[in-house]
Structure 1
Amino acid sequence: MTVDNTPSTDSASLRAHGNELYKAGKIEEAIPLYQQSAELAPLDPAPLSNLSAAYYELGNYPASVTASDQALALLEDEAKRQKVAARKSKSLVYSLNYQAAIEALGSVSGDNDNADTVKAVQNAIDSQASVQDWVELRTRLVNELPRCKPQIRNVPEYFVVGHDVPDSLYDRSLLKTGRDKISLLFAGIGDSRNLHATFLSFFLDESQGKLPMDKAFHITICDHKPAVIARDILIHGIISELADCGDDFEKQIDSFTIPLLYYLYLSPIMPDAFHILLQRNITHLIKVLEDPQFRMRTLYVPQMYRPAILKILREWQHEAGEEYHTVRMRKETIRQRAKDRASLELTMMQYPEASTSIHNPPEGCEKEEAFYRNTGVLVMNWTSHNKVLETELQKAYADFDPRNPNALDTSFLDVVDASWKTNPTFIDLEWQRNREDSHADTCIGHDPFRFGHELKSVGMAAPEKQGLLNYFGFWLTFVAKGLTAVKSRLRVECCIGDITTVLEQIRIGAVGHRTPIPVHEGQQTARSDTSKIHSDLARDDKSAIQKPQIKADHQLDDFPKAYDRIHLSNIPDYIGGSFATFLYAMPVLHPGKQCYSMANCLRNPPRFKTHVHFNHEYLAGLSSPWDLVKAFQVRMEDIEQPDAPLILSDYTKWHRKPVSRNLSSLLSREQIELWLFRFFLKISIPMTREMREQTLIYSPLNLTAIVRLCAHLYHVGYPAHWLSGVLEEICSGKIKTRARPPRSDPLTFEETKTSFPLLSQSTAPFATEFTTLLSMSQCTLPFGILSPHIPPIHLAHQYSFVFPEVPDIVAETPVFVLVLFSMHQLPKEAEQRGMRKFLLSDETGSRTEKGRIAREEGIHVISTWQWHRQEKKATFWLRKDVFEALDHSTWGISIWRTDSWLRQAGPELLVDVVDEGPWISSQSKEY
């Protein structure tokens, strides 16, 4: 449409010109014309009515209400008054001003639409009245509601030694931010190699005189495994003692710190001398963590996490080593090294263009690597190695010929097996005891010599090529120096938990441990005094550890609310891909080109040709760079070769790129609605997949993702009535859209570009859960939802059910949902061939009348629930009015999979489901 931009001076012409702009979608440009028109004709309600409509469409609801009131004061035409009054009441709902909305609705005629609006507003008011503590409600939603479907075998795997090339999150460009504190976050901290690389970068800057002395450093490390954090704390304390040795080489030698860390970090078994040292450190750390009056230098370990850490440390004192004894660990090392070598050779045959150099031992370590691979024993070259390595072992290594390993006399292994001890930090008993019977032995999946090669690749070439210990010791020495350089102005904050929970806690200010702790007179700062312990060993003196007497004060009231850089590792592979990165990490990232969040894809990089393909799958078709800016305010850092093979396995950096809230800078209403419906369908009815596949693409998100996404989009600038309209359609049980449930894996561009016919599709199987989730979160959302289908929050009840038997078959992927269903209405075909066909109401779904009835009346799918493995108990949330209306003698509850869409457990009758009462009044947990 061609718009005449010639200015007019009379009110009618200005308003007419404004209407043309409005119809052309240039609403921001129409508003000044309506304002001028109203000024020129102060008694004319028309420009004011137009102005209220324009503000409404832009999502500026307070301004729309003001204009509506001004128009209503002048309007006499009842039909027009009703229209403006209805707009005003909706604006008040979207602005969360429910009391004013209910008053405004009193002047609106009582048609069906108005009755639905009244019901929606009254339910919201009832919910608000039920909330006594808004902060607690928001915190509980973040902490209690899972973001992903559960696993049946839901104890997370324990990865001891990582595979990353160590990389620092700090570089000098961060000094340009102008902030006094540099804040970094490591998610999935693992073995801390990237944290240590960051320490090393501090040293490199200091050695050049370029490390700023006026900057403080806050580093948050997070992992969902308490064992990981326990191990990293232990290692950090010992590195701190190495830092205290300074440049005193003799002191380093006498302390045995470097060889202790060498075996602790890399080896499944260790000489008894170092095991004694390790156990003394563990015992000391237990004493420190048990005493709430003690704090460790540079480390902040919140009280809330200490019980879980202490449990692990106590297991490492005796139980872990006794259950996984030396011989078992050593033989498993040999087996897995042979297995990994064979796997590598197969990979090289399949991908001959890939380089094998990354897997070769560094120069000078060839003999050690061959000896380790054949015996499971990691040797060392060290000035005092004769103090700790048995004579038989020293002789065997001297005689070993890597070219003829079978000639080695292995009788020395009896001595090793009798005297060496298991490295207990390689064992997480919770993980081991919850594995499949066929995988009972611990996973020793790392190659110490690959780590040596990685150190060499980042410049850690030891001055003398004496073996792996030299590379490792060279690295550790400079890591310790870097720690020394910033120790007085560094805090490393430890967190245990799911990273998406932690990030969301940070965003809303609900991190449970981030409260100021007063420093009392005489309060001490704990110090893992391993230099004293090590010198005791060197003198063969096993005297008791003395409690340290060092005082210090950590200021605990200045935790970062945003970070300069966030390292996510490949965690997004398992929690929703780029959706998780964009929705959780980016909002707590500072804007600016120096700041970024980084992640890579290691689970299935061959499945995605480019980053665009990756985003296309995980964001349900939203993948162009400009669309990502419009929806998530993110920009990918340029990559030199974006089409390189397996490019996703390299780290990708994402920057925050705030955009204008003007509608012209955002996706259109048609685009956003189509995308949201497609995203909903992709989460609700994911594509059928193989249960076991080496490059399996996870589809883990539950329906809370839709609620969180809409809250995010509102903050970006999308009008509430757009988002509310989508949510209401889903709640109603029917959506009319051109979007379809996914038909390809991964999602293809051909599918999303296809213009499907407009089709009414059923959301009935998911509406009960979705309306329950909205009732629980409605009071914390930044905008109001106009839906009569959302019940007041007190109707959202917590239920639980104990299943008699739940098979562990392929149980370690997040694909499980609860299904309540009518045993009379669900066709037997669903049990035999999969339920998905009966959830689909598009062209590919069941078109039979029986299928329609089952879909619309006989199935309730619950994707948001918790699984308590030991008790075999499922906990879920559902609206009480719907649950009680079901016939408990003919309705069943089962666990189903969303990969094969087959039943995993059950069915059991609903009669044994326990109603634990309203969620809002249930006892909140401490976090």
Structure 2
Amino acid sequence: MAVDDAADADSASLRTQGNDLYKAGKFEEAIPLYQESAELAPSDPAPLSNLSAAYFELGNYEASVIASDQALALLEDQAKKQKVAARKLKSLVYSLNYQSATESLDAVQAGDEKEKINQAVQNAIKSQASVQDWVQLRIRLVNELPRCKPQIRNVPEYFVVGHDVPESLYDDSLLKTGRDKISLLFAGIGDSRNLHATLFSFFLDNTQGKLPLDKTFHITICDHKPAVIARDILMHGMLSELAACGDDFEKQIDTFTIPLLYYMFLSPIMPDALHTLLQRNITHLIEVLEDPHFRMKTMYVPPMYNPAILKVLREWQHEAGAEYHTVRMRMEAIRQRAKDRASLQMTMMQYGELSTSIHNPPEGCEKEEAFYRRTGVLVMNWAGHNKVYEPELQKAYENFDPMNPDRLDTDFLDTIDSSWKTNPTFIDLDWQRNREDSHADTCIGHDPFRLGHELKSIGVPAPQKQGLLNFFGFWMMLAAKGLTAVKSRIKIECCIGDITTVLEQIRIGAVGHRTPVPVHEEQQTSRNDKGETPLDVTTNNASVAQKPQDNADHQLEDFPKAYDRIHLSNIPDYIGGSFATFLYAMPVLHPGKHCYVTATCLRNPPRFKTHNHFNHEYLAGLCSPSDLVKAFQVRMEDLEEPDAPLVLSDYVKWHRKPVSRNLSSLLSRDQIELWLFRFFLKISIPMTREMRTQTLIYSPLNLTAIIRLCAYLYHAGYPAHWLSGVLEEICSGKIRTRARPPRSEPLTFKETKTDFPILAQSTAPFVAEFTTLLSMSQCTLPFGILSPHIPPIQLAHQYSFAFPEVPDIIAETPAFILVLFSMHLLPREAEKEGIRQFLLSDETGSKTQKGRTAREEGIHIVSTWQWDRQGKKATFWLQNDVFEQLDRSTWGISIWRTDSWIRQAGPELLKGVVDEGPWISTKGQDE
């Protein structure tokens, strides 16, 4: 008896120690004490109840359920029994075990909490029952739901020649990873200069004996413009032809490959003979892409992209040159060069004497540059130029005095205009036909001679006064030799699309030609007894891999599921800054000090003093290195010159740094909740800003960002009940938080450090969309959400509305939302002063009763929608029961902006909205 008493005493002591640790938030340390306490007193339910609570707080819901069952078997106190039963029920919901949750409902007494849980469970079960193909649902969410607000003029711009100093993604430090395959990804590949720099690195390493023969290389190139990929495929074919020439100079001359690449890469117009060769290459590529059995040796173009690429290639055969004829292109080149020189002079007058070396032609190119600036004709110093140049051009260039350019007799230009041809690869008709009328001509914004400086800066030797072609030709020859060095061991995979979509597709193995991973496998992610969760959301299970359906030559294992290095250029400037970099690129990056994602800021570098300021704006205040590690598991590589002017315009490297999933290694619950609420408010009610300025900071994200972020944080180790609590509070229509909608732009440190009082703020205008998006996503989320406000997925309907007129004014910014509103309740001041004040319920919002009524009852904001510019049709998603309650004769629909917060189009009555039916059945669920 004394032994039992001693054991009970020891058990009680251990439980007390565990409780002290529990209250201090040290749940990991409390668990072994509770376990030992339970072993000493096997008939005492208290340590088991405490154990279930500690596991729950860690997010280890499966272990919490087991401990809860053990405690419930011993408990007699009904109040305590109800508490444990409720905890078990919540654990089952958070771990997606809805069937067991239904069976456990009877153990919980009737009340508001039980009703809330029951409603959430039943809605989730209905959603699951409606999903016939979980893989297709995941793919549809990735492919169909935009990540950013749309643009009204939404055809992406076509950039022909880049401005980057070419930079290789490869160096021999990657050999230290131990992987047999080195995988690189270029987003926004543009003119392929960074790919060529990488091939250049292969050549240099090969000459030094450092390029291993036992390594293979996979390079993914991506761009959202089919024209870019079409042009790069053409260039790669020519590069392969150049590689086949080897060091045979005579053969290089005979093939005309270097001159053809030179004109295709740099010049808006080209000699007729080279144009003929280019057209032969275009025709051959069309034949290749139309032949289902033909495969390129080093480049893989997935058949799914063929229609878009073929459309561009066929336009380049005739239509592009006819619409943008030689004279038009040549005169635009002259105009653009004059405009750029005037802009440079204005900059120098405004900011003082700056280094102008890069704006002057490289040594040896002075005469060519002056001739180009005067005539719009790019010439070359090449052994065979007599074969492609007219005598009139040769004579004019020989007599040209760059010190007196106006003395040039320009009669020869009549011959040029009649014989030379437009470089069709400079034209993307899709982009040109969707530009503002005031910008109808092509954007020949590049200076061909700047490339000479860029190549010289990376080690390409000066051409000894022989002209730009020698820079360019030397560069291309080295790239071709690099391709030769790895030719049998390299695959260059082409992707067309928005990079965030492609990165998500890569993560789930669904890039058209890659086999998707069943959703339920990612949902099995759970913590072990130490509260750890692997964040390797890039891993595909090889056991479920299937052979790609559209190309039997390429097995799933040939394609990387993660990359050693990813080059994002300055794409983040337009898609959410560092948020997009961290959320989409980092999960498909291998960890390790030799692997990185690299990006730069070129849209608005003067607006940010440091990268901390940049992150502070785009991550709603989250910017310290330690917080970035805890939230996103990223680390920025130290900068060589952190105090350099416009430091944001330099490339920065981000490394993936996995950390412990113990709560003590993560942000606290208070920090996470405050940050998520601030992030939500910043996305949904961004600060007013200029509609058009050279340093405009975009605020493009829509509400899907919150859902995607919460899924990411769960994989990073944050408990589901933390995340679910935030999502449920937003869905309820009111949040209590110290966070506020932004009051500065860019967001200042002073604002985020201000200790605002806790305030109840309305989310009512955003609830209809947010709950709809959650209903569409719920079946693919890795955790359950305890909210009765999320409807079954079948209630999420797809709607469309064709606007009679939508102005194109300042329409290329991702700042457009749909506003459904009561014409009786929305105050007239919204039209004149903007709608933002009626969305705010903090100290700065509208205080009038009309304003409060409009916010709570009269406005539904839709930030996630698609825009068909040709048909002027908006497609969006809302839960059907909410939409059907709206009076279509008194409610209107408009397009508004979230930069100026003024109306862009409408209003039109809702009676014109078309209900296209439940989203889950609108496309492909049974295909």
TM-score by length of 1: 0.95
CA distance in 2, matches of 1:617, 1:458: 33
Cα-Cα RMSD = 1.4
- Quick check: 1:360–1:453 contact (8 Å CA) kept in 2? no
Aligned to 2:692: 692
CA distance in 2, matches of 1:97, 1:853: 40
Aligned to 1:537: none
Q: What are the Cα deviations for residues 689-738 of structure 1, in whole angstroms up to 9, with x where unaligned?
A: 11111100000000000000000000000000000000000000000000
Q: Secondary structure at the match of 2:904?
A: strand
Amino acid in structure 1 at the alignment position of 2:109: S
1:91 aligned onto 2:91: yes
Change over 3 Å in CA distance of 1:68–1:518 after alignment to 2 = closer
Q: Secondary structure at the match of 2:211?
A: coil
Change over 3 Å in CA distance of 1:506–1:394 after alignment to 2 = same
Change over 3 Å in CA distance of 1:653–1:86 after alignment to 2 = same
Structure 1 unaligned regions, length at least 5: 1-6, 524-552
- Quick check: 1:462–1:474 contact (8 Å CA) kept in 2? no
Moved more, 353-362 or 309-318: 353-362
Q: CA deviation at 1:353?
A: 6.2
- Quick check: 2:513–2:550 contact (8 Å CA) kept in 1? no
Aligned to 1:702: 702
Aligned to 2:580: 580
Q: CA deviation at 1:401?
A: 0.7
CA distance in 2, matches of 1:10, 1:826: 67
CA distance in 2, matches of 1:554, 1:93: 40
Q: What are the Cα deviations for residues 485-510 of structure 1, in whole angstroms up to 9, with x where unaligned?
A: 00101100000000000000111122
Amino acid in structure 1 at the alignment position of 2:306: R
CA distance in 1, matches of 2:23, 2:30: 9
- Quick check: 1:359–1:453 contact (8 Å CA) kept in 2? no
Amino acid in structure 2 at the alignment position of 1:577: G
Same amino acid, percent of matched pairs: 83
CA distance in 1, matches of 2:460, 2:447: 17
Q: What are the Cα deviations for residues 528-581 of structure 1, in whole angstroms up to 9, with x where unaligned?
A: xxxxxxxxxxxxxxxxxxxxxxxxx66564200000000000000000000000
Change over 3 Å in CA distance of 1:342–1:894 after alignment to 2 = same
- Quick check: 2:598–2:654 contact (8 Å CA) kept in 1? yes
Q: CA deviation at 1:292?
A: 1.1
Q: CA deviation at 1:8?
A: 11
Aligned length: 890
Aligned to 2:388: 388
CA distance in 2, matches of 1:187, 1:918: 35
Q: CA deviation at 1:105?
A: 1.3
Aligned to 1:646: 646
Aligned to 2:310: 310
Aligned to 1:783: 783
Q: CA deviation at 1:747?
A: 0.0
Amino acid in structure 1 at the alignment position of 2:18: G
Aligned to 2:119: 119
Q: Secondary structure at the match of 1:295?
A: coil
Aligned to 1:195: 195
Q: CA deviation at 1:384?
A: 1.0
Q: Secondary structure at the match of 1:294?
A: coil
1:432 aligned onto 2:432: yes
1:319 aligned onto 2:291: no
1:805 aligned onto 2:805: yes
Matched ranges for 1:797-876 at <5 A: 797-876=797-876
Aligned to 2:135: 135
Aligned to 1:769: 769
Change over 3 Å in CA distance of 1:772–1:400 after alignment to 2 = same
Change over 3 Å in CA distance of 1:462–1:870 after alignment to 2 = same
1:45 aligned onto 2:54: no
Change over 3 Å in CA distance of 1:512–1:421 after alignment to 2 = same
Amino acid in structure 1 at the alignment position of 2:748: T
Q: CA deviation at 1:922?
A: 1.4
Structure 2 unaligned regions, length at least 5: 1-6, 516-546
Change over 3 Å in CA distance of 1:518–1:903 after alignment to 2 = closer
Q: Secondary structure at the match of 2:74?
A: coil
Q: CA deviation at 1:272?
A: 0.3
Amino acid in structure 2 at the alignment position of 1:645: P
CA distance in 2, matches of 1:144, 1:716: 25
- Quick check: 2:732–2:789 contact (8 Å CA) kept in 1? yes
Q: Secondary structure at the match of 2:819?
A: strand
Q: CA deviation at 1:347?
A: 1.9
Q: CA deviation at 1:830?
A: 0.4
Q: What are the Cα deviations for residues 425-452 of structure 1, in whole angstroms up to 9, with x where unaligned?
A: 0000010000000000000000110011
Q: Secondary structure at the match of 1:242?
A: helix
CA distance in 2, matches of 1:25, 1:92: 23
CA distance in 1, matches of 2:818, 2:200: 49
- Quick check: 1:514–1:557 contact (8 Å CA) kept in 2? no
Aligned to 2:12: 12
CA distance in 1, matches of 2:556, 2:17: 58
Matched ranges for 1:189-588 at <5 A: 189-352=189-352, 354-462=354-462, 464-514=464-514, 516=547, 557-588=557-588
CA distance in 1, matches of 2:926, 2:396: 56
Q: CA deviation at 1:27?
A: 1.2
Change over 3 Å in CA distance of 1:136–1:181 after alignment to 2 = same
Change over 3 Å in CA distance of 1:170–1:761 after alignment to 2 = same
Aligned to 1:721: 721
- Quick check: 2:72–2:81 contact (8 Å CA) kept in 1? yes
Q: What are the Cα deviations for residues 411-469 of structure 1, in whole angstroms up to 9, with x where unaligned?
A: 01011111100000000001000000000000000011001111111111145431000
CA distance in 1, matches of 2:465, 2:294: 42
Q: Secondary structure at the match of 2:695?
A: coil
Q: CA deviation at 1:924?
A: 2.4
CA distance in 1, matches of 2:442, 2:216: 40
- Quick check: 1:768–1:878 contact (8 Å CA) kept in 2? yes
Amino acid in structure 2 at the alignment position of 1:746: P
Change over 3 Å in CA distance of 1:640–1:557 after alignment to 2 = closer
Q: CA deviation at 1:920?
A: 0.8
Q: CA deviation at 1:354?
A: 4.0
Aligned to 1:533: none
Aligned to 1:621: 621
Amino acid in structure 1 at the alignment position of 2:900: S
Q: CA deviation at 1:60?
A: 0.5
CA distance in 1, matches of 2:558, 2:259: 37
CA distance in 1, matches of 2:432, 2:901: 29
- Quick check: 1:631–1:713 contact (8 Å CA) kept in 2? yes
Amino acid in structure 2 at the alignment position of 1:500: T
Q: Secondary structure at the match of 1:73?
A: helix
CA distance in 2, matches of 1:831, 1:920: 36
TM-score by length of 2: 0.95
Aligned to 1:883: 883
Moved more, 433-442 or 462-471: 462-471
CA distance in 1, matches of 2:351, 2:255: 46
CA distance in 1, matches of 2:875, 2:921: 16
Aligned to 2:81: 81
CA distance in 2, matches of 1:709, 1:719: 13
